Structure 1
C-alpha cells in the first residue's frame, strides 16, 4: 500500500503545509556534519522550496541544487519557516516532520525550541533514508504467517527504555538502554550496548528465557527527553535517537520474529512536541487556552478538558481542502489524520509492527479518528499476506475508565483492563474490591466477561496486568513495593500467586518488565517514566525462583488450548473459609482442562487432604501439577492440600 507523500520524499525534499504558509515561503537549509569536537554543521545550501503540482505541497529537486550534491553522501537539513505557533518565534529552522532519522548532535543544549537535524543520503540522483552513519536500513522481512502467535495465546512484555545498574552498594546508575540492549535480552550472542557489563544481560537471554511471545516497546519513536522513556513524542517517523538507529531496530525485530515473537509499539497521539507546532499550528494543534468553546478541546462523554502534559494537543476535528498525502490527489481531509496515518505506514512497512498500543485514547478524544487509524492498521496488516488471519494482529487502547463500547463499535480491538489490577492486588491481600464480596472479586478477576460494569465479550479484548508502566497512584507501584508497603513478609509466595491468577485468567496477559523477578523501584514510589528496570536483581535466589515459576506458566499460557478460550467454570468455593479457597476450571468442552486451586488465606489447609468438589474427570491417571512439574497419582486427584497463599495448577494436557 503506497502513501504518496512518503514516495515523493525519495525524489525531492518535500514539505506539506495545509492551507499554505502564512507569511514566508519555506526554505531548505542543507548542511554537512563535522564531528569535531566540537560537533558542527557546515551549511552548503540555503534556498526556497517551490510550489508543486499539488496544493500546499512545497518541493525541491536535489538535482537542482548548486553546487551539485555529491553522490553517496549523507546530508543534514532543516526547513526554515515563519513560526505559526502562539509563541510567535519569528523565522526559525525546524526538523522535517516526516524525517526517518534525526540527529541531536550539536543541538541538545541549545534551548527548548532547538530542533535536531533531519538526515538523508543523496545517491544516484535520489534521496534515501539512512542512519546517521550513512547505512541504509533494510525493511523488516514479513514473518511467516503461521509462525506468529494468535492473540488469545500471546503474553505481552511491556518494556521501557530506562534501565539501571549498581555502581556501588546503595548507589544506582540510571541510563537509557538501546535497541541493542533490548536485543541482548533475547539473543545470547548479543552482549548488549550500554548495559553489556551487567552479567545477567551479557551472559543470559533473560526475556527469551521468560518465554513471552509479544514485545511491546514503550514509545520507540523519537522524543526529546533523555535519561527516561517519557511520552514526549517529537518525531513520529524516526526511531528514538537515544535508543539507536533504524538498522538496529530492524535487526532487533527480525531477531525476535525468528523466535515467533510479535513486535508491538506504543503510539502517543493525544499530544505532541513535533515540528508542525511551528509549521502549521492551527491546522494540526489546539491552543487550549484560547479554544475553550471548541468541542475538540474536551474528552468525549465528559466535560473534562484534554491534557497536553507539556506538549501540544493534536487537532482532530478541523478539516480543509488540500493535498491528500496518501492518495496524492487534492481533497477534503483532516490534516492530523493524514499525518498519523503516514507514520503508521512507515512503522508497519519498515519495522514489521504486529500490534499497536494507543496511549490515552480518551485524551485523543476523537473516536472517529481512532477508528480510521485502526482500520488503516488492519489494511496494512492484511496487505502482507494472501490469507491473513484476523487473530494475529491487534490494536489496543489505553484508557483507565475502560470504555468497552470502543471495542464493541470496532473503534479498537482491545483495551487495558484496569479493574483486573485492582481486583488482583486486593485478592492477594485477602480483601474484596469495589463493592463485591471476595468470591466475586476473584470471579471477575479470573473471567472479565463476568464484569457487568465493563462487559468484555471476548478474552482477546482485555489486556490484564499485575503492574504496568503507570506506577503512580494508589496500589499502582511495582508489586514488590506494593507488598512491602502492605507489610507482607512472604513476597515470593504472593508474587507467584499473583502471576498464577494473571496467566490463567481470561484475557491477554501483559508483564511489565522486571516484574518477572520482582524488581523494585530505584526511583521514588509514585513517579512513572523515570523508574528503571534493574536486571541485576534477577540473580538473587528468591527472585530467580519467581522468574522460573513465571516462565513455566508463560509456557503453559502460550500453548495450552484451554487457556486460549473464554470458557471458565468455578468448581469450588470454600464457604467455611469465607470463600477464600477457590478452584476454577479453564477450557471448552472436549478440551483438556486446566484446573487452578488457590488459597487466599494465611493458613494451610488442615490435614493431609483437601477435597475439591466438582473436579472434572477425576478418574484419569494422567493429571499433573504444572508448577512443580510432577504427575499426580489418581488417588490424589482433586485431594491435595494447598498451602497458605499458594496456587496449584493441574492439567492432563501435554504439548
Structure 2
C-alpha cells in the first residue's frame, strides 16, 4: 500500500449534540461517528479516525500504510472535554490494517489497541483492525416490510439455535468451518424446509478464542472474519429473510475478555470496566465486567445493539447472562462484593442500562424483539419499563428447562413420582413472556446430548425425544432447539466438529428429523398453539392426576380459533380406550402423532381422529375414548360436527 499522507486536523463527523448525547449515555448511533470512516475531504480520499480515550496524553494511528510506525500519524484531542481523538489520513483506503497507539497519562503506560468501533478485524490470531465500508444493496425488502407480524409476540416462534462454526464443515478444505458465503447457500433452505421460523446465532461478533463460542467478545461492531467479510454475513441474513426465516443474534453486554488489544485497561485506566475488582472482574469467566453505570459505556453498548439491527437487519437480540448483570453478588462469596448505595445486592447501574437498552431498541426498531437469558426469579423481566419492568420482549424459561429435562431423564417407571416437575411450570407460565430453551448450554460440559439423556434402548430414546418435543411445542411459550436436536444427535456438542449428518441415514434418527418438520408445520398452522402463549386464557388443564399411567392432557386455545387438545403418554405402555374429557361435542381430528410409522414409531393411533361420546370425564360432559401410543404426544384439533 502507498505511504499515507500527513494527517489532517479539523475533520470530524461529530457535532456538539453528538458529544452531549454521548456524555449523557443516550447516543445510540456512535458507529456512524467513531471508529474508521472512509470519506473524501477536499477531493482526496482517505479515512477519518475517531477514538474515545480520555486518559491518554497522546494517540496515533499505526498500520500497514505507515510501516506500523507508532507516532507517524498522531490524532488530535477535541477541546470539548469528551476525551475523543480525531484525525483524517489521506490515502488510507478500504482494506488498510491499523491499530491505535495510546500513550497514557497514567503510569507511563503505552499500548497498541484494536479499534472498539472497527467494522472488520484481522483473522485470529492476528488482532489488527481493518478499514472497511459496509455498503450493501439489500434484497430483503419484502421481509423487512412484513417482519412486524413475523416477529410479533402473538406469532409462532420456533427457533433453531446454532453455532455457525460447527454446523457443517467443509470436507474438501481441511474440515474447516463453512464461510458465510457457503452458509448463505446451504442454511436458509435447510431451516425453511424444517419449518423453523427463526435462527438464533451464537455470537458472531469478533472474538480472539474460537473455543469461547463468541461469548468473549472483542469486536462489538464486527462479525468474525474467520468466516468471511461483513458483506458475506449480510448475504447470509438476506438469504434467510428471503426464505421467510428471521435472524436473532446472541449479544454479550455483560463482560469482555482481558486480551491486551481489546477493551481492557484501554487508555491506561479501567475505561470500559469497573476499577474495583469486586465489580469489575468476573470470577466465572476470568473476564472484565462492563461499568454499566458509566454513561459513555452505555452509549457504546446500546450503539452496538442497534448497529446489528440497523446495518445487518437482525430481527432481535438474545441478551446473554442478564442475571450476572443484575446482582452484585453473582458468583461471589461474602466479602467479595460491595452492596449498592441502598445496602442491597442489586446492580443499580446495570438495571438502568438494561432499561435504557430496551427503550432504545424498541423506540428505533419496534418490529424486533429482545430476549433475556435470565436464570433467577427477578420480577418483570419481560414487562415494559414504564410499569417498572426491565423492558425485554421475552425471557428464557430456565426453570421449565431444568424441571423438564430432569423429568425426561428418569426411567419411566419412576416418572410418576416426579410429575410435579411438569405441572409446576404452569403456576408461573404467564408471569413473563417465556421462551422455552433447549439450548447449547444443555448439551455441553459433560451433560450429554438430549438423546443421551433419554433412558432405554435406541427406539425408546428416539420416542422419548419426540415426546419431549411434542410436549414442549404444546406448552405455553415460544420454542428454541439447538442444532443437532432435530435428528437426535448422539454425543454432546463439540465446537470443533459438526452436526452428525450421517444420522439422517439411520431410520430412527431420520424419524426424529421428519417429526420435527411435521411438528413445526403443525405448530405454525394452528394459532391455538401459539397466539395466546403469554395469557392464561390460552391454556386449560384437562387432566394431570393420572401419574401411574404417566398421562397429561391439556388444551391450547386462542380467541376465534378451534382449540387443540394435547395428550401425552410418558410411559412405554400404550393405553387403549382411555377416556379424555373434551369441552365440546363433535369431531376431534388427530393432526399430529409422534408414534406414527413415518416418524419411526410403532403406529398406534386413532385413524385420523374421533368423534366425542356423551360420557363425562375430567369435568366435561363429553369425552374421547383414545388409543394413546407409548412414549408419545398426540394433538387433536376440534372440528365441530366433523
TM-score bracket, shorter-length normalisation:
0.7 to 0.9
Q: State the partner residue of 1:92.
A: 111
* Residues 610/174 of structure 1: CA separation in 2 closer, same or farther (3 Å cut): farther
CA distance in 1, matches of 2:381, 2:170: 47
Q: State the partner residue of 2:436.
A: 464
CA distance in 1, matches of 2:566, 2:91: 68
CA distance in 1, matches of 2:639, 2:496: 42
Aligned-partner SS, 2:200: strand
CA distance in 1, matches of 2:630, 2:290: 51
Q: State the partner residue of 2:286.
A: 310
Q: State the partner residue of 2:81.
A: 55
- Is residue 221–residue 233 contact of structure 1 (8 Å, CA) maintained in 2? yes
- Is residue 465–residue 502 contact of structure 1 (8 Å, CA) maintained in 2? no
Q: State the partner residue of 1:602.
A: 572
Q: State the partner residue of 2:20.
A: none
- Is residue 196–residue 520 contact of structure 2 (8 Å, CA) maintained in 1? yes
1:488-534 CA deviation, whole Å, 9 max, x = no partner? 761111110000011111011101111011113266xxxx7667533
Matched, 1:647 2:633: yes
CA distance in 1, matches of 2:460, 2:249: 35
Q: State the partner residue of 1:116.
A: 127
Q: State the partner residue of 1:420.
A: 400
Aligned-partner SS, 2:376: coil
> How far is 1:285 from its partner?
1.5
Matched, 1:398 2:398: no
* Residues 616/423 of structure 1: CA separation in 2 closer, same or farther (3 Å cut): same
Q: State the partner residue of 1:246.
A: 230
Q: State the partner residue of 1:192.
A: none
Structure 2 gaps of 5+ residues are: 1-26, 40-47, 327-346, 599-606, 614-622
Q: State the partner residue of 1:80.
A: 101
After superposition, residues 370-385 of structure 1 pair within 5 angstroms as 372-373=353-354, 375-383=356-364
> How far is 1:423 from its partner?
2.4
Q: State the partner residue of 2:582.
A: 615
Q: State the partner residue of 1:154.
A: 157
Q: Which moved more, 1:354-363 or 1:73-82?
A: 73-82
> How far is 1:181 from its partner?
4.1
* Residues 652/256 of structure 1: CA separation in 2 closer, same or farther (3 Å cut): farther
- Is residue 140–residue 350 contact of structure 1 (8 Å, CA) maintained in 2? no
> How far is 1:360 from its partner?
0.8
1:324-363 CA deviation, whole Å, 9 max, x = no partner? xxxxxxxxxx232121112123211101121111111122
- Is residue 618–residue 638 contact of structure 1 (8 Å, CA) maintained in 2? no
Q: TM-score, normalised by structure 2?
A: 0.75
CA distance in 2, matches of 1:535, 1:509: 23
2:389 aligned to which of 410, 431, 454: 410
Matched, 1:267 2:251: yes
1:356 aligned to which of 317, 322, 340: 317
- Is residue 521–residue 532 contact of structure 1 (8 Å, CA) maintained in 2? no
Matched, 1:69 2:91: yes
- Is residue 34–residue 51 contact of structure 2 (8 Å, CA) maintained in 1? no
* Residues 80/549 of structure 1: CA separation in 2 closer, same or farther (3 Å cut): same
Structure 1 gaps of 5+ residues are: 34-40, 109-114, 122-128, 131-135, 188-204, 298-304, 320-333
* Residues 479/83 of structure 1: CA separation in 2 closer, same or farther (3 Å cut): farther
> How far is 1:554 from its partner?
1.2
Matched, 1:478 2:418: no
Aligned-partner SS, 2:33: helix
Aligned-partner SS, 1:639: strand
1:52-87 CA deviation, whole Å, 9 max, x = no partner? 24323444443xx4xx516x65321110013699xx
- Is residue 139–residue 351 contact of structure 1 (8 Å, CA) maintained in 2? no
1:440-474 CA deviation, whole Å, 9 max, x = no partner? 332234x3xx13xxx6425xx11213343343468
> How far is 1:539 from its partner?
3.6
CA distance in 1, matches of 2:105, 2:323: 27
Aligned-partner SS, 1:257: helix
* Residues 367/623 of structure 1: CA separation in 2 closer, same or farther (3 Å cut): farther
Q: CA RMSD in A?
A: 3.7
Q: State the partner residue of 2:296.
A: 335
After superposition, residues 89-238 of structure 1 pair within 5 angstroms as 90-104=109-123, 108=125, 116-120=127-131, 129=133, 136-138=135-137, 143-145=144-146, 148-152=150-154, 153-163=156-166, 175-187=176-188, 205-226=189-210, 229-238=213-222
